Structure 1
Amino acid sequence: MPTSELGFPVKKVREGLAEVLVPAEEVRAPKRATVFYNPVMALNRDVAVLVLRTFSEMAGRPIRACEPLCGCGIRGIRFALEVPGVSEVIMGDLNPNAVRLSEENIRLSGVQEKVGVRLSDANVLLTAFSAPGQRFDYIDLDPFGSPAPFMDSAVRALRSRGLLALTATDMAPLCGVHVNACLRKYGAVPIRTGYSKELAVRILLGALARVASAHDMGIMPLLCHATDHYARAYCLLEKGQGKANESISNLGYIAHCPSCHEREVIRGLGKPIAAECPYCGSKRLISGPLWTGRIFDRDFCSSVARQLAETPWVSRRAKRLLELITGEAEGPPAYYAVQKLCDAFDLRTPSIEGLVRALRERGWWASRTHFDPQGIRTDAPAREVLKAIRELA
């Protein structure tokens, strides 16, 4: 199709190994854009390529992938060009302009034998592949806003031991700014804390675990991150009542004291939760139900980072992100936002590396975190973190 027939001005951009046409207009919200393309999400797509390369090697089988909300098609095209184990990518979009542009980009990229695009609602497309023998190995949900409306269809369209990737850009509800919106979308209560970005990931995972369990599937988070304006999760799903039960056992709550900043992870949905902080007696904030288990698999994250040696086109930001994730992967839930903690207690903010070192010297587990450049992840309670900060002042 000649580009003049697209009906709107376009420009050429290069990302990874892909060179595609995108709308020659300012980035807008999808409802106002001719076709949605966001260059800021290049990091998201870089990491997705590395994760899918790792998963493809781990699975040891040809990978059939689906991107049911494809926009200009750049993500699916990059999968076809940059992931050797991908045998087929099926993309979809409900916007006819997006489908026409994706078709043109598929042709320009020379990936017609691997990639196809359909004019379809995302849930309709996923449901069409929900029968045994037709399901995908990998599904990537990257909507504008919440992935919640698509989770059930995605779970049904994913084979056992398939990988589901979720993006949530509705961080205001997930981080406690709009509580009712979070309740509607994710069935969980968010709270505003220094570590709200991690709570956002855990609420997202908790919602997915509940949806998957209804289909007797369990989830295993392999790699999660909250970067820029979104939360992202990669989860292995596996069929079986035992797997589903195991997932549900990882649901629970996090109780946060806004006065002394101590926090408690309560694993399990049926346990009583004390309203008052056991350390200072203040009323605690309770978030959940959410995922209380690990949000990273360190071996998988390390394997993803090793892919960087074979993908020199991937951004430096992706390299730094994966270094931080690998370093914090085995740490406990609920990092500390050191700058905010110091502000709350009128303390001078120390060097983050110095604080990590000081806590390790005291016998605590400690690392930096990708969630916050001024944050640390540690098993030390808040009172011990504050003690170390005061001694470094």
Structure 2
Amino acid sequence: PLECLDAFGATGIMGLQWAKHLGNSVKVTINDYNENSVRMIQENCHLNKMKVVMNFKEEEDCDETIEEGEENLPAIEVTKMDANVIMHLRAFDFIHLDPFGSSVNYLDAAFRNVRNLGIVSVTSTDISSLYSKAQHVAQRHYGCNIVRTEYFKELAARMVVAAVARAAARCNKGIEVLLAVALEHFVLVEVRVLRGPSPADDTVKKIRYLLHCQWCEERVFKKDGNMIEENPYRQLPCDCHSRMTGKTAVELGPLWSGSLFNTGFLRRMLFEAVQYGLEDIQTLLKTLICEAECTILKQFSIHGPTSQNKQEECGVFIKTPDTAADYYVVHGKRKNNENNQNGTKRQKSESNAEHPAFYYNIHRHSIKGMNMPKLNKFLHYLSQAGYRVSRTHFDPMGVRTNVPLAQFKSILVKYSTPTYMGAQSEGSLQASDESQVGADGDFAEEST
């Protein structure tokens, strides 16, 4: 079984869901440092008919409350330790970190003993620093220089991934980002761990600085190289620096410059969400898959391996796979050599079709006095022009595309229509005057 750790258990709801739904395929450990939380976790385990196993002497008698017929029930290990301590003591296949605030204090311990091809899930709730409201705190915690931009949510996600990548590289491990989302009041990042100095070096190469124009908000990652460039503004597609004097762009980062999504992982998540009836997240997952592939929703479909079961939901065809060939963890044991080859092939194919970095908000670049086209129509216009385009979960009015900002604005202007509010108001005023003249000429003369 896969050893899973919920490092900050609180009520234990997440670890209980793992044990209840996944059964004997996982060995769940729920940890919390608070005594009240540990007591609540035990009570919730008994409420869900789970056997509690304690590993510290003070609570060894907790198993006495289990009835005679419950020896075969799934067991959950409950620990009362600091999260850094338990991650240093033992090795896990899946680690979920959800601390209060920033998670940077626990990343080194998480990557210290996590097994090869394991998954580390990190939730950061310090949005004041991540969303550029407290820039000095972001500099202190993440070592990143950031400013408020139109794509601040993706900037936050890339900042967290960069911190995760640096922590993994310090332990001679690389990462493959499976998922990075910014929802409600938190940023969630899930990465797969690749052990070895070579994956670590490849991971570090994807941490780069970002050039951001403060006038038009065009952005581009700085090119690799040790030579000092005389005019770094040339890397930006815009011509703001040539038209204006002074410093028109800032250097942000270091940030993660690689992909934020793994399409195969998201497709398997969607399949499992359909299997378990989790309707709340299916819309989000479909948006993420379209964003990962940078395609419009109409072009989106899911094709699984050969299967007899097939169902349609919300216009998306979902085939039920009998065995998932692209799983890293095979039932019973891990196929390291074969799966590593598949992993490298998949990484190469995904890097070629990697989704564009960042997005543009259609309202931020609108033209005064013009009516913009509907967002879905505008996506279709960009796709007809030959560019890759999709919506993004980071911003409901955001457009993820590989088109430069100048062409983005020109296409937006091309399909925008001028407003005739002034002409319409004059026509309505004349019509009202004529009606008043017909009704009462004296009143019309006084009004004019």
Please, what TM-score do these two structures have when normalized by structure 1? 0.78
Structure 1 residues 355, 271: CA separation in 2 closer, same or farther (over 3 Å shift)? farther
Please state how far the C-alpha of 1:367 moved relative to its aligned partner.
0.4
Q: Which residue of 1 is the match for residue 334 of structure 2?
A: none
Structure 1 residues 63, 72: CA separation in 2 closer, same or farther (over 3 Å shift)? same
Structure 1 residues 179, 84: CA separation in 2 closer, same or farther (over 3 Å shift)? same
> Does 2:232 correspond to 1:279?
no
Report matched runs for 1:61-76 at 5 Å: 62-76=1-15
> Does 2:136 correspond to 1:180?
yes
Q: Which residue of 2 is the match for residue 125 of structure 1?
A: 86
Is the 1:191–1:286 contact (alpha carbons within 8 Å) kept by the matching residues of 2?
Answer: no
Q: Which has the higher contact order (CA 8 A, sep 6+)?
A: 1
Q: Which residue of 2 is the match for residue 3 of structure 1?
A: none
> Does 2:178 correspond to 1:222?
yes
**Distance in 1 separating the partners of 2:369 and 2:265:** 40
Q: What's the secondary structure of 1:190's corresponding residue?
A: coil
Q: Which residue of 2 is the match for residue 335 of structure 1?
A: 359
**Distance in 2 separating the partners of 1:238 and 1:327:** 26
1:150-186 CA distance string (max 9 Å, x none): 0001111311111000011112211222111111111
Unaligned runs of 5+ residues in structure 2 are 52-73, 294-354, 417-448
Q: Which residue of 2 is the match for residue 306 of structure 1?
A: 271
**Which of 164, 176, 189 is the matching residue for 1:233?**
189
Structure 1 residues 150, 267: CA separation in 2 closer, same or farther (over 3 Å shift)? farther
Give structure 1 regions of 4+ aligned residues with deviation exceeding 6 angstroms: none
Is the 1:252–1:269 contact (alpha carbons within 8 Å) kept by the matching residues of 2?
Answer: no
**Distance in 1 separating the partners of 2:86 and 2:279:** 32
**Which of 353, 369, 376 is the matching residue for 2:399?**
376
**Which of 282, 287, 291 is the matching residue for 1:324?**
287
Is the 1:251–1:268 contact (alpha carbons within 8 Å) kept by the matching residues of 2?
Answer: no
Percent of residue pairs identical? 30
Please state how far the C-alpha of 1:297 moved relative to its aligned partner.
1.1
**Which of 33, 44, 51 is the matching residue for 1:94?**
33
Q: Which residue of 2 is the match for residue 264 of structure 1?
A: 220
Greater CA drift, 93-102 or 278-287: 278-287
Unaligned runs of 5+ residues in structure 1 are 1-61, 130-134
Please state how far the C-alpha of 1:320 moved relative to its aligned partner.
1.0
Report matched runs for 1:1-393 at 5 Å: 62-84=1-23, 86-112=25-51, 113-129=74-90, 135-266=91-222, 268=224, 270=226, 272=228, 274=231, 276=233, 278-281=238-241, 283-312=248-277, 314-316=278-280, 318-330=281-293, 331-342=355-366, 348-393=371-416
1:227-268 CA distance string (max 9 Å, x none): 111111110011100000000011102212121222112254
Identify the structure with the greater strand proportion.
1
Is the 2:273–2:279 contact (alpha carbons within 8 Å) kept by the matching residues of 1?
Answer: no
Please state how far the C-alpha of 1:188 moved relative to its aligned partner.
1.2
Is the 1:249–1:267 contact (alpha carbons within 8 Å) kept by the matching residues of 2?
Answer: no
Greater CA drift, 111-120 or 164-173: 111-120
1:183-216 CA distance string (max 9 Å, x none): 1111111221111111111111111111111110
Aligned residues: 324
Is the 1:367–1:376 contact (alpha carbons within 8 Å) kept by the matching residues of 2?
Answer: yes
Please, what TM-score do these two structures have when normalized by structure 2? 0.69
Alignment RMSD (CA, Å): 1.8
**Distance in 1 separating the partners of 2:157 and 2:225:** 18
What one-letter code is carried by the residue in structure 2 that aligns with 1:300? Answer: F
Structure having the higher Rg: 2
